């Protein structure tokens, strides 16, 4: 067994309890930053979703007591959804993790950190660098994510680490990288207001991104709003056209639209010739997607297909938006690229009100994608590229030989490796896979096999924390500072405005302490504060599509209402507007600067209906008042009043009649993997043969079938076979 480094935490700082009295600020404990003025107002970015709303935080004696939406912030223009309004209140929950917990007992930080390093080193020493992995989240700040990725890989020597972004945005990443040459969502939120046709595919912004929907409502052009969704969602109800296709027939529909647009003269030939590659092959591929075939496979009528194509063809500024209905599919990357293909072939990109636009999920999903050192080397670089490793080594001051020369396994592959016994330890940071991962019982069976399971989280009560050998108590949003990158690539700063409870520490400081205990603290001597890490990441971004070297620092982010990437200086001058979209010059990030048409033949989802399981279960966001696994939002009494007390299954009246089930009756939903008892909501919002459950309830993923998009490795939560029985 390896011995711990010569200088231990005790020697470095003295006992933590004494330090708390003497030097609390050294750990980010007990004080709010001096940059705040007591009894004033400061500005923050909401820490729930990727919209990235600006909030005004009202202070008394230097500490937050209330908040209101920021009317000057270019994202939300004075509005906030219920989650944002409750952001401070969820911090006061009694189940906050206040002390480290080792095998169910509270311990001090010194004991916890010694144990963490001891166990991780033992496993890595005995079984090699692939035996331990980390899984993190787009919920922590981008400086923290970068620190975690750098610490785990460069400092501790791990190879594998991924984020829960894999459940959310991996598809958009894979699609953009191949089609545009970089993970580059092209839009700015002003595009919601500047389109005359908005096409939402597998997206329900009324519920999932309500403030973005407010931007749609501000559109003064009386736009056509088209929704493609098997369910009649809240957004579909507000749309001018709704296409309720069969579940997971979206890829066929999108190819069918391309076919019609080509046939009817809807191609922007000048744009295609000047700025794309592969159109001829795409044109010949979609020749097979005749209206007859497409209508048979999607359930649409030929008239509706023609109307849909005609609306796109006649639109002057058409924007295409997608989110989890596309990203969480068995052929998700090709589906996202089929949307991109439509934007490219009609020339709807790089102009106001256009774009092939993936809406992200978590507050820092974009930071996770580019700066987490998981699938990308810091700053959107490639671990396998020697020049990239050299560049990042120089920018960070790390020895180049400490940078892995291969990709991490994806999330599902790490879990599979844990099942096979090659991964023996996993360190989860601010994520709750015992609730959120697909086929939950299987996930939990595998987690229980681990030699060492660490959870670093705000709450010690999550389903995953309850299974952990070691829980490290973390500060939450508002209790630490750093930046998020939102859906439109805007980097926004959020300050510390509250004390964290007990001895909970900012994730940033936990990583600093682990670096020290591990004995690699010297490698991170420049990483003392989030803003110093921001500077390191600026250097990493130089020359990349996501360059942020032109940002002066946190002060500019606060002053300017956030800054979108790319943000480089031009001849030493800041010449940028605060609302920018990409590709206005028609140049993409591929080698030949052309966007690429990517496509594949549709295949049927892996789990099909059968006599025993005749219904298709879809899952999704059920309310704007809850966030993901309800780890935080579940603590708010206000938000709890806005959702049903019990889990409710949407069931079509025809199916209800056939089963003899009435609205509000209790039923069992049964899949091959599990059964749940729920209440029914009989509604024509789902079609016959289809049922729907919101994902927030901790039991729903017991039912879901674990299938993955082969290109993005993102799980498909939208197509599991079930049956329903009366209790
Ligand atoms: Fe805005 Fe999202 Fe926060 Fe709601 S949760 S206030 S939409 S950032």
* Ligand 1 atom nearest 212 alpha carbon: 7
Contact between residue 158 and residue 133 where contact means Cβ atoms under 8 Å apart: yes
**What is the whole-number distance in angstroms between the Cα of residue 48 and the centre of ligand 1?**
6
Q: State if residue 47 touches ligand 1 by the CB under 6 angstroms criterion.
A: no
Q: In this structure, what token pair is assigned to residue 606?
A: 């892996």
Closest Cα to residue 488, out of 16, 51, 60? 51
Closest Cα to residue 580, out of 188, 218, 115? 188
Beta bridge partners of 666: 679
Closest Cα to residue 365, out of 52, 686, 3, 73? 52
Among 80, 621, 627, say which to mutate for ligand 1: greatest number of ligand atoms within 8 Å of CB: 80
Q: State if residue 210 touches ligand 1 by the CB under 6 angstroms criterion.
A: yes
pLDDT in tens, 356-365: 999 988 899 8
Output 526-532 pairs: Cβ under 8 A, ≥24 positions apart.
526/397, 527/147, 527/150, 530/141, 530/143, 530/144, 530/480, 530/481, 530/482, 530/483, 531/143
**What is the whole-number distance in angstroms between the Cα of residue 308 and the centre of ligand 1?**
31
Q: State if residue 359 touches ligand 1 by the CB under 6 angstroms criterion.
A: no
Instruction: Give the sheet arrangement for strand 482-485, strand by strand.
Output: 482-485, 490-494, 563-564
Pairing mode of beta strands 490-494, 563-564: antiparallel
**What is the whole-number distance in angstroms between the Cα of residue 81 and the centre of ligand 1?**
5
Residue 32 confidence (pLDDT) = 54
Nearest CA to ligand 1 atom 1: 53
**Rounded-to-integer distance, Cα 75 and Cα 463, Å:** 34
Q: In this structure, what token pair is assigned to residue 103?
A: 């095998």
Residue 12 confidence (pLDDT) = 38
Nearest CA to ligand 1 atom 2: 49
**What is the whole-number distance in angstroms between the Cα of residue 359 and the centre of ligand 1?**
13
Buried b (16+ CB within 10 A) or exposed e, 256-268: bbbbbbbeeebbb
Residue 643 confidence (pLDDT) = 85
Q: State if residue 278 touches ligand 1 by the CB under 6 angstroms criterion.
A: no
Q: What is the DSSP string of 113-127?
A: HHHHHHHHHHHHHHH
**What is the whole-number distance in angstroms between the Cα of residue 220 and the centre of ligand 1?**
23
Residue 281's SS3 state is helix
* Ligand 1 atom nearest 76 alpha carbon: 1
Pairing mode of beta strands 595-596, 276-277: parallel
Nearest CA to ligand 1 atom 4: 81
Low-confidence ranges of the chain (pLDDT < 70): 1-39, 575
Output 280-289 pairs: Cβ under 8 A, ≥24 positions apart.
281/597, 282/258, 282/341, 282/345, 282/597, 282/599, 285/255, 285/599, 286/255, 286/256, 286/258, 286/259, 286/262, 286/599, 287/259, 289/252, 289/255, 289/256, 289/258, 289/259
**What is the whole-number distance in angstroms between the Cα of residue 356 and the centre of ligand 1?**
22
Q: In this structure, what token pair is assigned to residue 451?
A: 């030699």
CA 513 to chain centre: 27
List CB contacts of 273: < 8 A, sequence separation 6 or more.
none
Distances (CA, A) of 284 to 43, 254, 289: 53, 15, 10
Q: In this structure, what token pair is assigned to residue 230?
A: 């098997």
Closest Cα to residue 152, out of 425, 533, 530? 425
User: What global pTM score does this model have?
Assistant: 0.93
Q: What is the DSSP string of 541-610?
A: HTTSTT--TT---HHHHHHHT-EESP---BTTB----SS--S-TTS--SSTTS-EE---------SS---
**What is the whole-number distance in angstroms between the Cα of residue 46 and the centre of ligand 1?**
6
Closest Cα to residue 103, out of 443, 414, 444, 455? 455
* Residue 560: how many other CB atoms lie within 10 Å: 16
Rounded to 5 degrees, what angle do the CA atoms 478, 55, 96 make? 25
């Amino acid at each position: 067994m390896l011995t711990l480094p010569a200088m231990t935490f005790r020697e470095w700082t003295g006992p933590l309890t004494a330090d708390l009295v003497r030097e609390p600020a050294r750990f980010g404990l007990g004080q709010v930053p001096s940059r705040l003025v007591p009894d004033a107002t400061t500005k923050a970015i909401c820490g729930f979703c990727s919209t990235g709303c600006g909030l005004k935080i009202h202070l008394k004696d230097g500490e937050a007591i209330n908040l209101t939406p920021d009317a000057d912030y270019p994202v939300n223009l004075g509005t906030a959804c219920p989650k944002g309004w409750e952001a401070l209140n969820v911090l006061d929950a009694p189940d906050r993790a206040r002390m480290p917990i080792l095998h169910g007992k509270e311990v001090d930080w010194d004991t916890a950190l010694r144990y963490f390093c001891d166990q991780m080193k033992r496993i890595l020493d005995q079984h090699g660098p692939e035996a331990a992995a980390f899984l993190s989240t787009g919920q922590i700040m981008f400086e923290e994510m970068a620190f975690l990725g750098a610490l785990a890989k460069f400092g501790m020597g791990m190879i594998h680490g991924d984020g829960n972004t894999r459940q959310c945005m991996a598809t958009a990443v894979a699609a953009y990288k191949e089609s545009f040459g970089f993970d580059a969502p092209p839009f700015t939120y002003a595009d919601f207001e500047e389109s005359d046709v908005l096409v939402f595919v597998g997206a329900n912004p009324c519920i999932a991104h309500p403030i973005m929907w407010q931007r749609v409502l501000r559109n003064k052009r009386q736009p056509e709003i088209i929704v493609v969704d098997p369910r009649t969602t809240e957004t579909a109800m507000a749309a001018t056209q709704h296409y309720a296709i069969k579940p997971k027939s979206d890829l066929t529909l999108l190819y069918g639209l391309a076919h019609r647009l080509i046939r009817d003269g809807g191609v922007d030939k000048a744009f295609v010739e000047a700025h794309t590659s592969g159109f001829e092959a795409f044109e010949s591929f979609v020749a097979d997607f005749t209206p007859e075939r497409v209508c048979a496979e999607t359930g649409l009528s030929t008239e509706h297909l023609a109307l849909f194509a005609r609306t796109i063809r006649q639109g002057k500024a058409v924007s295409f938006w997608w989110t989890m209905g596309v990203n969480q599919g068995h052929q998700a990357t090709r589906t996202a690229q089929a949307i991109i293909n439509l934007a490219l072939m009609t020339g709807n990109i790089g102009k106001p009100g256009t774009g092939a636009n993936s809406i992200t999920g978590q507050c820092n999903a974009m930071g996770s994608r580019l700066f987490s050192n998981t699938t990308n080397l810091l700053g959107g670089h490639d671990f396998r590229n020697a020049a990239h490793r050299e560049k990042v080594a120089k920018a960070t001051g790390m020895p180049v030989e400490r940078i892995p020369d291969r990709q991490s396994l994806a999330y599902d592959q790490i879990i599979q490796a844990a099942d096979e016994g090659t991964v023996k330890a996993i360190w989860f940071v601010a994520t709750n896979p015992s609730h959120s991962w697909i086929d939950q019982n299987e996930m939990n069976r595998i987690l229980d096999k681990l030699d060492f399971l660490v959870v670093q989280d705000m709450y010690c009560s999550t389903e995953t924390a309850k299974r952990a050998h070691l829980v490290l108590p973390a500060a939450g949003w508002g209790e630490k500072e750093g930046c998020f990158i939102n859906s439109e690539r805007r980097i926004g700063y959020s300050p510390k405005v509250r004390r964290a409870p007990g001895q909970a520490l900012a994730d940033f400081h936990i990583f600093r302490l682990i670096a020290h205990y591990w004995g690699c603290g010297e490698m991170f001597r420049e990483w003392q504060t989030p803003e110093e890490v921001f500077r390191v990441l600026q250097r990493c971004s130089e020359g990349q599509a996501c360059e942020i070297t032109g940002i002066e620092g946190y002060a500019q982010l606060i002053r300017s209402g956030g800054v979108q990437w790319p943000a480089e200086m031009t001849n030493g001058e800041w010449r940028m507007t605060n609302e920018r979209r990409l590709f206005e010059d028609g140049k993409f990030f591929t080698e030949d600067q052309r966007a690429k048409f990517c496509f594949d033949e549709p295949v049927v989802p892996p789990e099909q209906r059968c006599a025993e399981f005749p219904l298709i279960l879809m899952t999704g966001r059920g309310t704007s008042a809850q966030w993901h696994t309800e780890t935080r939002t579940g603590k708010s009494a206000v938000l709890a009043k806005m959702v049903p007390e019990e889990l409710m299954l949407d069931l079509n009246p025809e199916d209800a009649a056939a089963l003899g089930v009435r609205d509000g009756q209790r039923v069992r939903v049964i899949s091959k993997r599990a059964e749940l008892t729920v209440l029914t909501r009989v509604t024509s919002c789902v079609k016959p043969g289809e049922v729907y459950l919101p994902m927030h309830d901790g039991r729903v993923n017991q039912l879901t079938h674990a299938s993955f998009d082969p290109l993005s490795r993102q799980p498909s939560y939208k197509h599991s076979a079930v049956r329903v029985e009366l209790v």
